[in-house]
Amino acid sequence: MFPPTRIRSCLPVINPMFKQRLRPHRPFRQTATLHSQTKNAAAQYQRNKWMSLQAIITRWVPLGSVIYVGWCYIRASVNYEVSKVEIKFYEMFPFRITSRIWGHLAACELPTSLRNFVYGTYVRVFNVNIDDAAVTDLTYYKSLAAFFARPLRDGARCISAVPCVSPCDGVVLNCGPADTEKIEQVKGVTYSLEEFLGPNTWSKTMDKDYYNSLLTNKDNILHQCIIYLAPGDYHRFHSPCDWTASFRRHFSGKLLSVNPWMARLIPGLFTMNERAVYVGNWEHGFFSMTAVGATNVGSIEIYSDPLLRTNTKGRRNRVDEANLGQISIKKGELFGQFNMGSTIILLFEAPKDFKFEFTSGDRVQVGEALTQAAKAQAR
């Protein structure tokens, strides 16, 4: 045993050692470390939150779409020529998916208490003439889709007595002779006739030239009329003349916007988009009427063709065909409807002196006469 005196003499040395060894960690050091770790974890979470697949689909894609479409609008106002790379980039946006989602949302029934507010806002934003509707009470329409495809009241449109009239309400994008295989969709921007209509399998003509194979009388030429239906327009379309439909071809293409300023940017826009082509004959020979789909168009409905299904899942480049027999359609008869704004394209055979009354940019309504000569004759 150590004597007490020896132990006491060692205490000054031992005590500082124990104090140094048993000293607890300072609290502020531990707090600072935890705060730093929490800050790093929060920053990492924010990075993962904005770079996840969900964030890309729900945030970056819609934001990029809005910015890009706005930029396209600015460029269209200064006659900017869009590049092929930009067109491909624009085509990559999931417009078919968003259009199907919009179609489902538009078909949902709204509470009666909200209908006046929702439809009233739509009427003011898009300048809808609700007085032409068969029912002016906004609470009558159960969904946005029902309001878009609202019928007209009796007497709202007069069908002219001339042979060919406007099939819908809208703005004329282009009209005039189509005497070559390349046709103007707007001034200076063209699309291919063969790509638009597809192979000529409905005619017995053996002419190798596609344009000539469409004509029944070689002294005639083709004429076209392109009418754009804005979101505020009447969305049903009618037969422009007395004709017989014998063949239908459905192209399940893209659903790009067909707004006039977009049509000026993208050549061949109408050959890319989903469309239902109806082919037949009228008094001068070949006649076709095409309903072209667009962004947010939930579907195209044709009353005499219940088997047609548009904007469905599947390959974008599939083509469906159907022989309709001989369906006789009278002028002014209801033909179909869009569940949002889109475009109607008429391509028909007529004499070379066939002149349109309207020019690009003019507004037309269902039943208005299309030609100057026809109007003079009607007087």
Residues 166, 239, 257, 342: which is the catalytic one? 342
Q: How far is CA 138 from CA 121, 125, 340, in A?
A: 11, 15, 18
109-115: long-range contacts, CB 8 A cutoff, minimum separation 24 = 109/142, 109/143, 110/142, 110/143, 110/144, 112/139, 115/139, 115/141
Q: Quick one: which of 169, 337, 170, 183 has its CA closest to 271?
A: 183
Q: Alpha-carbon distance 169 to 235, whole Å?
A: 8
Active site (annotated) includes residue 238 = yes
Radius of gyration of the chain (CA): 33
Sheet of 343-350: strands edge to edge?
A: 319-329, 243-251, 275-282, 285-292, 343-350, 221-228, 170-178, 363-364
Kindly give, in sequence order, each residue whose CB lies less than 8 Å from that of residue 122, ignoring residues fewer than 6 positions away: 128, 144, 147
Active site (annotated) includes residue 169 = yes
Residues 99, 160, 169, 257: which is the catalytic one? 169
Q: Alpha-carbon distance 92 to 61, whole Å?
A: 10
What residue spans of the chain are helical by DSSP H? Answer: 4-22, 27-51, 53-55, 61-77, 84-91, 95-107, 112-126, 144-148, 193-197, 210-214, 260-263, 269-272, 372-378
Q: Is 211 within 8 Å of 182 (Cβ atoms)?
A: no
Active site (annotated) includes residue 328 = no
Residues 223, 238, 250, 284: which is the catalytic one? 238
3-state helix, strand, coil in the chain (%, to 5): 35, 25, 40
Active site residues: 169, 238, 342
